[in-house]
Amino acid sequence: MTATPRAEYRWTHRHLLGLEQLSAADIRFLLQTARGFEEVSTRSIKKVPALRGRVVVNLFFEDSTRTRVSFNLAASRLSADVLDISAKGSSVAKGETLTDTARNIEAMGVDVIVCRHSLSGAAHQLARAVRCSVINAGDGQHEHPTQGLLDIYTLARRLGREDFDLSGVTVALVGDIAHSRVARSNVHGLVKLGARVILVGPPTLLPSSMTELGCELSSDFDAVLPRVDAINMLRIQFERIQSQAFPSVREYAHFFGLTERRLARAKPDVLVMHPGPVNRGIEIESAVADGPQSTILEQVTNGLAVRMACLFLVTGSRTGEAGGASSTATPAAAGATPVTATGAAPAPTSKGTVGGMGVS
């Protein structure tokens, strides 16, 4: 009997606006692509020519350190030209609309706009208004897709899930679920990859509607701890909380802060995650944040490879139309190390190439 050939996967997304719109296959392909870019940061010359001649604009209307710098470095390492624009000092401060700002930027020959905004849906609005690719770097309380992707990437790599299948893995997301775009992106991605997700927080910050996404809700952190393989401690969104829903800082830290004493209740090999910035002494004790089970700095490191993969894919590597990257348009073609289905990089051939792609 002749085996039916497996259909070639094709990435079809010109924009990356959220993980809600992606399938499990999309997410796995993106994370596998990130694996191919991971080693670029270990080279003496940390560049590949994937986006040479392309222009990426970071359009940030909220404060940011990690995300802005990470996207800036990711684009630079792909050899793109990078521009940084913030709300202060831009025409938005003079009354120009977000759409008009984006269209004027695009008119200068921009290929990708990376947007962060305080309003939910801002990235979707931009995607409808421009022809270039748009990547959502966080929009209000909606989603933060690249943070969700790098969290999942770090979790899977630490657990040895090279195929990014998270079946049988239980993850607790702890904190201000109601206002957290990071929580929403993590939930969409984790559930699609087979993980069990438990959302933990004060009842006033734990929307019951989240059960519709396939999550379990709990306000008893201590009872949840022994059941989970990873704990992702979310930042308290003080700038978004407009009501009395948040308990006092002291009360929150007592019931939901991750201390050494509380961590002792969990599995010995449990992973401790945090998207940053960390409010030490409130969400997590310094001894835990800096301890051996912490993946916080790994998440920052992995974010670079993940964002390189996002930029590479939404531009389709420009071998064809945007959003048309296929399983054959791999990081190897961009000058990075390819990754096989088993997760291992193939050995150089006798001609000094990798996988026959002529990679140096």
For residue 89, pLDDT over 80 is answered with no
This prediction has a pTM of 0.88
For residue 342, pLDDT over 50 is answered with no
Confidence of residue 336 (pLDDT cuts 50, 70, 90): confident
Confidence of residue 242 (pLDDT cuts 50, 70, 90): low
**Mean pLDDT across 256-285:** 96
CA distance 331 to 328: 9
Lowest-confidence region among 81-90, 173-182, 247-256: 81-90
| Residue whose C-alpha is closest to residue 198's, from 223, 179, 222, 224 | 224
Higher pLDDT, 351 or 60: 60
pLDDT at residue 316, as a whole number: 87
pLDDT at residue 44, as a whole number: 87
Sign of the four-CA dihedral 189, 192, 195, 197 = positive
For residue 82, pLDDT over 60 is answered with yes
For residue 4, pLDDT over 70 is answered with no
Best-predicted range by mean pLDDT among 83-97, 213-227, 320-334? 213-227
Give me the residue label for tokens 């049988």: 168
**Mean pLDDT across 251-265:** 95
For residue 317, pLDDT over 50 is answered with no
Higher pLDDT, 344 or 41: 41
pLDDT at residue 24, as a whole number: 98
Q: Taking a C-beta distance cutoff of 8 angstroms, is the pair 248, 256 a contact?
A: no
Confidence of residue 112 (pLDDT cuts 50, 70, 90): very high
Confidence of residue 87 (pLDDT cuts 50, 70, 90): confident
**Mean pLDDT across 61-70:** 92
- Domains contained in the chain, CATH given: 24-143+302-334 (3.40.50.1370), 145-299 (3.40.50.1370)
pLDDT digits (tens, 9 = 90+) for 199-228: 999 998 999 999 999 999 999 999 999 999
pLDDT at residue 81, as a whole number: 98
pLDDT at residue 261, as a whole number: 97
Confidence of residue 86 (pLDDT cuts 50, 70, 90): confident
